């Protein structure tokens, strides 16, 4: 199965085969030497093949094996992403249930980002509403659940889940990691 850099090369070649190694280097942000090594490795494995246009110009083509490797890598990445989203959702549900058991009955999800979407999924079965700005919050008795790291609300009881997840469950750095992972996954 291709590694991350090999996958970048396969992706670029599948878009446009007639590219120089220098062009592949620029598009993938890999050094020219790294592109050369990766292309040789992919050719040896049968993931790509070359066709000569002229003695100095080469066209790269992704083989069926290369497309298969790309599909497997994409599938595995999607499984990891789904697993990450599931773990985050479960942890949020656990945190919200703790608040519910302490007597909190109404919740507000604040935000329009990936983590706010996951918070909303975790709140299924609870009394909640979703707002996209602080000005939309009407109920002062609700617990405002925030998904953006570092955001503080004055005048409202709030819980920053991005920060709580970072500090508690993942031992620091979680909000950045989860937002980056979710963004890469297109969620």
Domain residue spans of the chain: 4-62, 84-185
Pairing relationship of beta strands 143-146 and 158-160 according to DSSP bridges: parallel
What pLDDT score does 143 carry? 94
- The CA distance from 183 to 187, in Å, is 6
* Structure confidence by residue, pLDDT tens digits, 11-45: 999 998 788 899 999 999 999 999 999 999 999 99
Q: Quick one: pLDDT band at residue 174, thresholds 50, 70, 90?
A: very low
Residue 172 clears pLDDT 70, i.e. is over it: no
Alpha carbons within 13 angstroms on the beta-carbon side of residue 61 total 8
* CATH 3.40.50.300 matches 4-62: no
Q: Is residue 63 exposed (0-12), middle (13-18) or buried (19+ Cβ within 10 Å)?
A: middle
User: Nearest-CA neighbor of 117 among 145, 77, 76, 150?
Assistant: 145
CB 14 within 8 Å of CB 28: no
* Structure confidence by residue, pLDDT tens digits, 72-119: 888 988 999 999 899 999 999 999 999 999 999 999 999 999 999 999
User: Nearest-CA neighbor of 123 among 140, 103, 143?
Assistant: 143
């Amino acid at each position: 199965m291709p590694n991350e850099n090999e996958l970048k090369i396969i992706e670029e070649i599948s878009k446009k085969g007639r590219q120089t190694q220098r062009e592949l280097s620029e598009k993938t942000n890999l050094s020219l030497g790294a592109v050369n090594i990766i292309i040789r490795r992919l050719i040896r494995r049968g993931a790509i093949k070359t066709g000569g246009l002229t003695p100095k110009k080469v066209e790269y083509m992704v083989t069926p094996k290369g497309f298969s490797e790309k599909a497997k890598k994409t599938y595995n990445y999607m499984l990891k992403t789904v697993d990450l989203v599931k773990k985050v959702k479960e942890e949020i549900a656990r945190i919200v249930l703790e608040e519910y058991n302490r007597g909190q009955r109404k919740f507000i999800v604040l935000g329009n980002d990936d983590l706010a979407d996951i918070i909303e999924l975790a709140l299924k079965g609870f009394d909640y509403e979703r707002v996209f700005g602080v000005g939309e919050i009407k109920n002062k008795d609700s617990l405002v659940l925030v998904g953006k790291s570092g955001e503080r609300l004055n005048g409202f009881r709030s819980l920053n889940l991005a920060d709580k997840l970072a500090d508690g469950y993942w031992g620091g750095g979680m909000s950045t990691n989860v937002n980056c992972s979710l963004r890469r996954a297109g969620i």
